Amino acid sequence: MQLQPGPRIRRSPYYDAVVAAGATQFSVYNKMLLPMSYGDRDAEYRRLTESVAIWDVGAERQVEVRGPDADACVQYLTSRDLSKMKHGQGKYVAMCDHDGRLLNDPVLLKLSDRYWFSLADSDMLLWVRAVANERDFDVRVGEPDVSPLAVQGPEAERLIVDLFGQHVTALKYFWFLETDLDGIPLILCRSGWSKQGGFELFLQDGSRGVELWDRVVDAGERYGIGPGAPNDIERLESGLLSWGGDTTPDSNPFEAGMARYVDVATDVDYIGKAALRRVADEGPARLFTGLVIGSDGERPEPWPLVERAPVFCEGRTVGTMSAMARSPRLGTTIAVAQIERAIVESRTPVEVRSPAGPSTASIHELPFI
């Protein structure tokens, strides 16, 4: 499908490098172009799982909150107790509305004098500004000039050590350093939307994107680095959530596999707490789960899922499936879905429908690997 470019859809600071590297497919994410493939998805998967890949994830925008009430404001926006959060630490958090709906699942970074919500695909700048102003928090809220570049894969750490030094091995998951690379200002965070290990380089000067990309690629050549993108096969195997893809507009974090990131017993107050406590008490209506498609060794070819597809049980729609792939490491056809809790908990077989006809599918815990 042809996308018409234009000023309403922004390009990242890495755009020229991405085009030079041969990007063939894009998505639109936070009103920016997000490269999705460079034309050889098998090679992209192998690089990610066997060596190291570089991803333009500049579309992962930041909402910055700073000022005297920043701590209070950020806590109020986040359904996780942040009282023990340290400078230099990141946390995967749920941001919910007053009815407990999941609005975004960012990584929250606590810098020395400010916070960044590093966002999935929804415009939380609107939400955060509305709440901050209406509640009279003394904060400044904005979108800084920050564009993440991801380095993911088993060789990512060796590459990052070559670039930044041995001390980066001490970084715990989601923790970060404010640093630079040859004078290019950035924040180096152990993070990324894969389970292969890796880092995100939060570039803080949009004029130097291509320079940073080239510097990382040069240093990564000895490890077989190549371009890639958030990878739907690996993320399915790893059970990572795609907000807005896997979730529906009314999903709550318990339905999105984020139960352990929601603190309902805490003393701190935040938006949606009462609604979320009710869900925690009653149990969520649906659960985010894996599916193995086919039965008895059948391995049906994945079919294109351009929309969430219904999942059936005894002729009744019991949920929606949102992504599917053949897993190279498992040899099976796997998917993720949001399905009624009773079905998931009882592991009742379900049915999905390909263009060629119905297939049986079995409930499988996430992650697959």
Contact residues for a copy of itself, defined by CB under 8 A: 1-11, 24-29, 31, 33, 36-37, 97-98, 103, 121-124, 126-127, 129-131, 133-135, 143, 242, 244-246, 249, 271, 304-308, 322-323
Cβ distance to a copy of itself smaller for residue 41 or 190: 41
Cβ distance to a copy of itself smaller for residue 44 or 155: 44
Residue whose C-alpha is closest to residue 328's, from 38, 25, 41:
41
Closest distance to a copy of itself from the beta carbon of 241 (Å): 12
Closest distance to a copy of itself from the beta carbon of 182 (Å): 27
The helix (run of H) or strand (run of E) holding residue 47 is helix 41-50
Closest distance to a copy of itself from the beta carbon of 249 (Å): 7
Cβ distance to a copy of itself smaller for residue 7 or 331: 7
Residue whose C-alpha is closest to residue 300's, from 268, 332, 277:
332
Query: 229: how many CB neighbours lie within 10 A of its CB?
Result: 25
Closest distance to a copy of itself from the beta carbon of 296 (Å): 29
Residue whose C-alpha is closest to residue 278's, from 299, 264, 258:
264
Cβ distance to a copy of itself smaller for residue 204 or 248: 248
Cβ distance to a copy of itself smaller for residue 98 or 167: 98
321: Cα separation from own chain's centroid: 18
Residue 137 CB burial class (10 angstroms; 0-12, 13-18, ≥19)? buried
Tokens of 7: 């000023």
Closest distance to a copy of itself from the beta carbon of 354 (Å): 16
Closest distance to a copy of itself from the beta carbon of 245 (Å): 4
Tokens of 323: 């992504």
Residue with tokens 């936070």: 30
CB 205 within 8 A of CB 184: yes
**Which three-class secondary structure string do you get for 19-44?**
HHCCCCEEEEECCEEEEEECCCHHHH
Cβ distance to a copy of itself smaller for residue 94 or 171: 94
